[in-house]
A = this chain, B = another copy of it.
């Protein structure tokens, strides 16, 4: 019988990969909290209706969906925004506005498995609800920039391309074209870079020349009033270099109502690293008009950002520093004399009670083999328990320095040797 494997499109994370993922989570949380965002969580399973209501019937074929024994149509969430809209409109009354809320969680898409496309992925979702001013857009974009700065990216690595759907309202109005054509127009525009010929044909049908569109993108001054409040705010924060106005950014989703933006790498051809925008009508839609609050949000997935970190020098160095520090154990207790195992256990407990990550051989092992185990676990110090207990010898596994201490002074000795070891790492 064949082994049972991980289902295609899903993945296992071995400890070293899990640490890299936790690095993303910790950085995301750190910056969100620095910006005064608070974390919430919604279930990974929702009524299918939630997605149908937001995105129409077509979305359903892209969902993992099933019927529970109560005949409810349920689905694994493909994104977090509909849940956020549900949760925020139900509970907003109890919180001062604006809400600055974030969630980190798994999302799922039911597409056929293929190389490099995961059916389970993680999204970092950030939303400001209840503030219609572009100041909220700027605050959110600044937070996205600081996430990237914290990973070690500079404005030479990544850029946010900022657009606004209202700019194209102005474009159509200036040309006395019907504003109702906007959705068709935006869907044509969405392919401008990838497929200019088909874009040209579709624009033609709307009575618009592609050169006219290109000229408007090249000189978006007619829409300056839309962008200036955002770019000015970012400039006042010293973050202007991370943003450029680019009206060719459209974003696929129909629910955006104003500013939209995407974060791109300047050096590699990844898909967008993050994307978002203003969606001032979604809460009203999801609450049947009961709660009419403006909102702006963005999401970043775990896959593209981790690939990009791994191929960029400074971000990679920061990730590696984090991973190196995440050794399974900092201290390894060597049982040099099996007759002192009881003493060794009390030593292990003492170190752990002092919050030191500590490991030891569960059963009798040769002296040399124990040092090899310590090394494999990345331990910095070996604490050697032998017949001279309560005298204890502590060895720095990098410098090979050895110090003698006693059971009573153990924690202090280990702590100061650990700090010395960290300092030496910095000097080396």
Q: Please tell me if the beta carbons of A5 and B47 are within 8 angstroms of each other in the complex.
A: yes
A65-108 vs B, CB cutoff 8 Å, 1 = contact: the mask equals 11011101010000000010011001100001010110000101
Residues of B within 8 A of A253 (CB): none
Residue A299, interface by CB 8 Å: no
Residues of B within 8 A of A47 (CB): 4-5, 7
Residue of B nearest to A70 (CB): B112
Give complex CA distance A53, B91 in Å: 44
Q: Please tell me if the beta carbons of B363 and A6 are within 8 angstroms of each other in the complex.
A: no
Report the stretch among A161-169, A243-251, A348-356 that lies at the interface: A348-356
Residue of B nearest to A68 (CB): B110
Q: Please tell me if the beta carbons of A39 and B64 are within 8 angstroms of each other in the complex.
A: no
Residue A44, interface by CB 8 Å: yes
Partner of A359, one of B2, B36, B45, B233: B36
Residues of B within 8 A of A352 (CB): 34-35, 146
Residues of B within 8 A of A355 (CB): 30, 34
Give complex CA distance A136, B10 in Å: 31
Residue A423, interface by CB 8 Å: no
Give complex CA distance A98, B131 in Å: 54
Give complex CA distance A83, B11 in Å: 11
A284-301 vs B, CB cutoff 8 Å, 1 = contact: the mask equals 001110100000000000
Chain B nearest CB from A71 CB (Å) reads 11
Give complex CA distance A45, B287 in Å: 31
Q: Please tell me if the beta carbons of B110 and A10 are within 8 angstroms of each other in the complex.
A: no
Q: Please tell me if the beta carbons of B64 and A66 are within 8 angstroms of each other in the complex.
A: yes
Residues of B within 8 A of A74 (CB): 7
Residue of B nearest to A136 (CB): B362
Give complex CA distance A349, B133 in Å: 19
Given contacts A355-B34, A356-B34, contact A106 B44 (CB under 8 A): yes
Give complex CA distance A338, B64 in Å: 50
Residue of B nearest to A361 (CB): B135
Give complex CA distance A83, B83 in Å: 29
Given contacts A98-B362, A233-B345, A286-B4, contact A15 B40 (CB under 8 A): yes
Give complex CA distance A238, B359 in Å: 17
Partner of A7, one of B7, B46, B131, B239: B46
Residue A43, interface by CB 8 Å: yes
Residue A357, interface by CB 8 Å: yes
- CB-CB contacts below 8 Å: A219-242 with B: 233, 236-239
Residues of B within 8 A of A4 (CB): 46-47, 49-50, 53, 86, 286
Give complex CA distance A50, B239 in Å: 50
Residue of B nearest to A376 (CB): B96
Q: Please tell me if the beta carbons of B135 and A362 are within 8 angstroms of each other in the complex.
A: yes
Give complex CA distance A47, B8 in Å: 10
Residue A18, interface by CB 8 Å: yes
Give complex CA distance A36, B40 in Å: 30
Partner of A38, one of B15, B39, B376: B15
Residue A202, interface by CB 8 Å: no
Residue of B nearest to A239 (CB): B349
Chain B nearest CB from A4 CB (Å) reads 5
Residues of B within 8 A of A128 (CB): 362
Residue A318, interface by CB 8 Å: no
- Would you mind naming 23 contact pairs between A and B with Cβ atoms under 8 Å apart? A3-B90, A3-B287, A4-B53, A6-B86, A7-B46, A10-B45, A12-B42, A12-B87, A13-B40, A13-B41, A15-B101, A21-B41, A34-B352, A36-B358, A36-B377, A65-B66, A69-B112, A96-B377, A100-B359, A136-B362, A146-B352, A236-B341, A237-B348
Query: 6 smallest A-B Cβ distances: which pairs?
Result: A36-B359, A10-B43, A15-B38, A236-B345, A135-B362, A13-B41
Given contacts A8-B70, A15-B40, A66-B66, 12 further A-B contacts (CB under 8 A): A3-B287, A4-B46, A4-B53, A6-B42, A7-B68, A33-B357, A36-B357, A36-B358, A44-B120, A65-B66, A96-B376, A135-B362
